[in-house]
Amino acid sequence: MTPSRIEEGDHSVYREMAIFTGNSHRSLAEQVAKHLEMPMGDVEVFEFANEEIFVRYLDNIRERDVFIIQPIVSPVNTRLMELLIMIDAAKRASAGRITAVIPYYAYGRSDKKDQPRVPVTARLVANFIEVAGADRVLTMDMHAGQIQGFFNIPLDELTAFPLIAEHFRSERLAAPTVVAADVGRAKLARDLAGRMDADIAIVDKRRTGNNDSAEAMTLIGDVEGRDCLIIDDEILTGGTVASAVKLLRSRGASSIRVACVHPVMAEKAFQVLDTADIDEVVYTDTLPLVRGTFKNVPATVLSVAPLIGDAMHRIHTGGSVGALFR
């Protein structure tokens, strides 16, 4: 689809923005709209008795720069279908450009064929989104960078880790050490440690089978007497964090905080983290907590709404999204 453009000054911008959301995370979408001082667009998204999803835009979106904010959250397959059907409906309503804003990209862990006869579902989901008619994607801290390449349309990937670093900096910890929850997060930990003037350590984790269980095997780095900040992209069962905490405590860490961008949080994760001897858990609002709440461990929620709103504004006006992170 060739988006329609109007000229404004010496740069071109698309026609008016319009923001819509399905049933994934309305409060996040509303906060983004509030940040942009815009109203939410009106759309019906509901299921018939036979579980088929129906979508109808109640606003005229012809030639508009449409942003559909829909993290792929529980129930994952329903919310994914809502997103796809919303994109399809917007395309058929002659939207000028459609950006799928997906703060949490589910199926990201299925990003490679690492066993015989398994799918690469992250790629399949990318295909769905393109085929539905999205012109662009805006997302945040995907499980692996290579997922960007699964799309043939422009994709902007934001990161919430600078926000997380800012939060920990404000706590003025005496001896901070950023701990990568697994080897795959080592570069991230290094970047964060650089931002915070902190040391770095890495947990070598092993997954046993396909049943979500994780075991922290080895620790690279010294955490004796250190204020450890375990970082990960997401927490699901809490198993990765719990086994890392055990290992760090056994090596003499003096305090342990945990941060993730995406609190996917299976039901048991709340109890696992509540009883894991953690000083604080920090996460963002890319997705809502739908399966419980924390009772013991102090929890801090950082909002990504301003960041997403600023990125949408830049996409709309042709500004640099990368400049948000300089």
**Does the footprint of ligand R5P cover residue 233 (CB under 6 A)?**
yes
Q: Are 216 and 238 in contact (CB under 8 A)?
A: no
By C-alpha distance, which of 257, 259, 181, 260 is closest to 219?
181
- Contacting ligand R5P within 65-94 (CB under 6 A): none
* Closer Cβ to ligand R5P, 31 or 286, answer by number: 286
Q: Is 205 a catalytic residue?
A: yes
Nearer to ligand R5P among residue 134 and residue 181 (C-beta): 181
Window of 114-122, 187-195, 229-237, 279-287 that interacts with ligand R5P by CB under 6 A: 229-237
Among 82, 111, 232, 310, binds ligand R5P (CB under 6 A): 232
Q: Does 214 bind ligand R5P (CB under 6 A)?
A: yes
Let me know: does 304 contact 281? Beta carbons within 8 Å: no
Nearest CB to ligand R5P, comparing residues 156 and 234: 234
21: tokens are 């959301």
Q: What would you measure as the largest C-alpha separation in the chain, in angstroms?
A: 62
Separation of CA 10 from chain center: 34
Q: Which among 8-16, 57-65, 233-241, 244-252 is the span making contact with ligand R5P, rule CB under 6 A?
A: 233-241
Catalytic residue among 34, 187, 205, 268: 205
Residue 216: C-alpha distances to residues 14, 74, 97 (Å): 49, 27, 45
Stretch that binds ligand R5P, among 1-9, 38-46, 232-240, 293-301 (CB under 6 A): 232-240
Cβ-in-10-Å burial (0-12, 13-18, 19+) of 50 comes to exposed
Nearest in space to 57 (alpha carbons), one of 69, 42, 71, 72: 42
Secondary structure class of 32 (helix, strand, coil): helix
State the nearest-atom distance from the C-beta of 242 to ligand R5P, in Å. Answer: 8
Taking CB under 6 A as the criterion, the residue among 236, 256, 261, 307 binding ligand R5P is 236
Of 41, 103, 176, 239, the one binding ligand R5P by CB under 6 A: 239
State the Cα angle at 243 between 241 and 244, rounded to 5°: 60
Is 237 a residue that touches ligand R5P (CB under 6 A)? Answer: yes
- Min. distance of Cβ 88 from ligand R5P in angstroms? 30
Tell me, what amino acid is at 183?
V
Contact criterion met (CB below 8 Å) for 136 and 315: yes
**Amino acid identity for residue 280 in this structure:** E
Query: In 3-state terms, what secondary structure has residue 43?
Result: strand
Site string for ligand R5P, 155-184 (x = CB under 6 A): --------------------------xx--
- We find the least distance from the C-beta atom of residue 235 to ligand R5P, in angstroms, to be 4
Residue 197 Cβ vs ligand R5P, minimum distance, rounded to whole Å: 25
CB-nearer residue toward ligand R5P: 181 or 245: 181
Residue 95 per-residue DSSP state:
B
**Which is closer to ligand R5P, CB of 79 or CB of 262?**
262
Q: Is 203 helix (H, G, I), strand (E, B) or coil?
A: strand
| Cβ proximity to ligand R5P, 3 vs 292, nearer residue | 292
Residue 107 corresponds to which tokens in the numbers above? 């199926």
Provide DSSP, 225-250: T-EEEEEEEEESSSHHHHHHHHHHHH
- Binding-residue total with ligand R5P (CB under 6 A): 13
Q: Which is nearer to ligand R5P, 20 or 107 (CB)?
A: 107
Q: Which residues bind ligand R5P (CB under 6 A)?
A: 181-182, 212, 214, 232-240
- Annotated catalytic residues are 205
